[in-house]
A and B are shown apart, each in its own frame.
Chain A
Amino acid sequence: MLSHLRPALVMLSLFTLLAGLIYPLAITGVAQVLLPSGANGSLVLRANQVVGSELIGQTFLSDRYFWSRPSAAGEKGHDAAGSLGSNLGPLSKKLIDRVEGDVAALRKAGAMSIPVDAVTTSASGLDPHISPGYAALQIGRVAAARSVPEARVRAAVETTIERPALGFLGEPRINVLRLNLALDAASPGGADR
């Protein structure tokens, strides 16, 4: 076994250098030069302020904004420094109770049919998207809170829908942060709550 010790240690050091430092640092260099936006987290700026990442969901509570899916990451949800799913099984009482609560709240706000993404937490707790169905459910509320015609909000939703790549890859979805930014840009007064 001792005769194997020298190659083991030398190879380990060389590969740590090559695969552990040179490789990631070289990729970092290339990505930072060629793809600076994505490489730094697809951050979204408004008036030179970082308001979030296009890829990372955030919590919206105001009626003026479209709401994200429920999140199990962090106490207040959407903790982007600690991603987490609920990890509740389908028979979990905690899950059923939580969903029943959310359904009751949505019903009170006038919803008829409740799409499943509106009351289930995502795997990462940071899902930036909602389904077109859940967006449609919220149009009335947002339009009323902003005192704008529903048709205008509906048009904003339509233009934000991302279709499956090549027509078949992935799901139609709506980026909540992008939609809310578009609404704020379209109807002034979006900054005050």
Chain B
Amino acid sequence: MTFIGWFQILAVLGAVIVCAWPFGLYMTRVFIGERTPLSPLLLPIERMFYIAAGVRLEKEQSWLAYTLAMLTFNASGFLLLFVLLRLQSLLPLNPQGFGGVASDLAFNTAMSFTTNTNWQAYGGETTMSHLVQMAGLAVQNFLSAATGIALAIAVIRAFARNSAQTLGNFWVDVTRGTLYVLLPLSIIVALLFALTGVPQTLAGSVEATTLEGVKQTIALGPVASQEAIKQLGTNGGGFFNANAAHPFENPNAWSNMLSIWSMLLISTALTFTFGRMVGDRRQGNALLVAMYALLITATAVVYWAETSGNPLLAKAGVDMAAGNLEGKEVRFGQALSALYVVATTGLSCGAVNTMHNSLMPLGGLVPLFLIQLGEILPGGVGSGLYGMIVIAILTVFIAGLMVGRTPEYLGKKIEAREMKLAMLALLILPLVILGFAAAAAMLPNALESLANAGPRGLSEILYAYSSAAGNNGSAFAGLSANTPWYNTTLGIAMLLGRFAYVVPVMAIAGAIAAKKKVPASSGTFPTHGPLFVGLLIGVILILGGLQYFPALALGPIVEHFLMHAGKTF
């Protein structure tokens, strides 16, 4: 670890916070329906959308109607994408002439992009036509992210409102999320990516003759526009197989910084939006402090583990001064590779500039554990915030148990119904992750897919199901996941991780919205101070540890000790 390394890390995070604050303010105005600087341009388009879709702006929905609208929208998005993938060979903008996608892979991919997971069991430049990339995958990059933002806004409204029966209108929120938030940001970021050297063309590939006279086919495409929304929407699905490690997706230190900045921006900004909308900015700040304290600690662990280098390679005669560089690119350096690893998994982004499967044992433990903590640090756009609110509810409940009072959060009493629903949501992830991973670890045909033997093999399986259920999408790549077993089970894991989680959360929102706000009394546990932040961090870590420590002990932890004992597999 170096001073200059930490300076780079803190410069990027500082840039995120500085920009997220005004942007959170802007999003507040957008979702409250106030005028914004972009309104003169976008209001006519927004109105046209509502008229065509038959949506009445002022007609609000109950939690159930809101949720059903969301499910219908996502189900239609899934079907459209599935059909596009299957029929790819018959559609235009396919310069490389790729064939239709097999049904199990199409199911997995369509599920992956509609749930904001962007797990990719295929290599982008060898499978997907430009039309599918742009009009199929990237559209879901926008819409799954807008869905997440809409759901978070609905949950925020539940706490902001007093004895309310409605949470807003899903169609209005999702339209505004796309038109006012994602699209303008994507245009700016895509142009900035193009400025750093990211290609943007409709050509398929170029033939080069290298200096030694060998033919090199260089795959190209509309990369900058995909890269922008992939990062901003915490989607993470790469245009190329190597994702943001590919020099065309991420050519230099500037693009790398832009990459990290854009994936953190909206999720961070939403904590400010939260504070504004519930009328107490300190509430948003408390969540933000907890998220970033854990994020920076996690970065320190990865940075330390990776710069320590691989003792087995040192024994082979390699000078490890530059740290572990297997699966890393020279241009990024250890500091911003470590920050990327942590940001992409603390968020549910899943873009990678480093191959996670080649991380050191403890360097690989961190991203795996961050995903298992539920993608809340600061989490996917929208999904991170509502996930964090569920944990906050759990935290006030535990604090309430300690002092024997009915817990409150933001002036709303948390009672049995909310706690039951919160537990239902929280238990989905371990059930899916550990259940499927246990099954895969027993099945010979699932084990054939492993790329590494020993504890790393178990980590590959565990990572795959964590990534799918947490809607992250990064991988301990190398696991041959393009098989009917993995395509199907991972697809189901993504589906449950997204929707089986969010339906109970929306039910909580419905119940909370209907409650009367009680004024804070001297007995109210303040949820904006350091005590609450500490308790929140404690609950996150204890919950995650209790659920996953046994599995992690058999994976990365034992691997760390075996490495120092000099064992190879």
Contacts and interface: CB of A to CB of B under 8 A. Distances in A.
Interface of A: 1, 4-12, 14-16, 18-21, 23-24, 26-28, 30-32, 34-35, 38-43, 49-53, 55-62, 65, 69, 73, 76, 78-93, 95-96, 99-100, 103, 107, 113-117, 119-131, 133, 164-165, 168-171, 173, 177, 180-181, 184, 193
Nearest to B190: A27
Contact of A12 (B73, B225, B453): B73
Contact of B358 (A59, A88, A117): A88
Among all A-B residue pairs, the 3 with the closest Cβ atoms: A170-B253, A87-B478, A123-B245
A24 B182 CA distance: 14
A188 B191 CA distance: 40
A119 B200 contact: no
Interface in B236-262: 240-242, 245-248, 251-254, 256-257
Given A116-B320, A129-B330, A96 B174 contact: no
B353 interface: yes
A85 B355 contact: yes
B518 interface: no
Nearest to A58: B210
Contact of A5 (B72, B317, B563): B72
Interface stretch (B46-54, B423-431, B486-494, B496-504): B46-54
B134 A24 contact: yes
Interface in B164-214: 171, 174-175, 178, 182-183, 186-187, 190-191, 194-203, 205-214
Task: Find the residue from B253, B358, B453 having the highest chain A CB count within 10 A.
Answer: B358
A1 B67 CA distance: 10
Given A35-B195, A80-B218, 4 more contacts: A1-B72, A91-B361, A96-B316, A116-B324
A16 B133 CA distance: 12
Task: Find the residue from A11, A15, A164, A180 having the highest chain B CB count within 10 A.
Answer: A11
A95 B559 CA distance: 15
Given A31-B191, A90-B312, A91-B567, A40 B203 contact: yes
Given A56-B218, A80-B218, A173 B330 contact: yes
12 contacts: A5-B72, A43-B206, A59-B214, A83-B123, A90-B326, A96-B568, A100-B317, A119-B313, A123-B352, A129-B331, A164-B253, A193-B212
Nearest to B459: A89
Contact of A180 (B80, B211, B242): B211
A124 B238 CA distance: 12
Contacts of A51: 208-211
A8 to B, nearest CB: 5
Given A10-B54, A12-B77, A93-B568, A56 B456 contact: no
A90 B241 contact: no
Size range of the chain B interface in the assembly:
35 or more
Contact of B247 (A34, A127, A165): A127
A55 B55 CA distance: 47
A193 to B, nearest CB: 7
A124 B451 CA distance: 17
Task: Find the residue from A9, A58, A95, A169 having the highest chain B CB count within 10 A.
Answer: A169
B225 A123 contact: no
A40 to B, nearest CB: 5
B327 A87 contact: yes
A99 B80 contact: no
B69 A8 contact: yes
B197 A130 contact: no
Nearest to B136: A20
B48 to A, nearest CB: 8
A91 B312 contact: yes
B126 interface: yes
Contacts of A12: 73, 76-77, 80, 143
B191 A168 contact: no
B318 A16 contact: no
A20 B133 CA distance: 9
A87 B475 CA distance: 10
Contacts of A92: 452-453, 456, 568-569
Nearest to A27: B225
B68 A4 contact: yes
Contact of B245 (A24, A35, A85): A85
A121 B318 contact: no
A178 to B, nearest CB: 11
B333 interface: yes
B544 to A, nearest CB: 23
Contacts of A133: 319, 322
B8 A169 contact: yes
Interface string B348-386: 000011110111110010000000000000000000000
Contacts of A59: 210, 212, 214
B329 A50 contact: no
A44 B393 CA distance: 57
Nearest to B197: A38
Nearest to B5: A168
B128 interface: no
Nearest to A121: B326
Nearest to B48: A14
B319 A27 contact: no
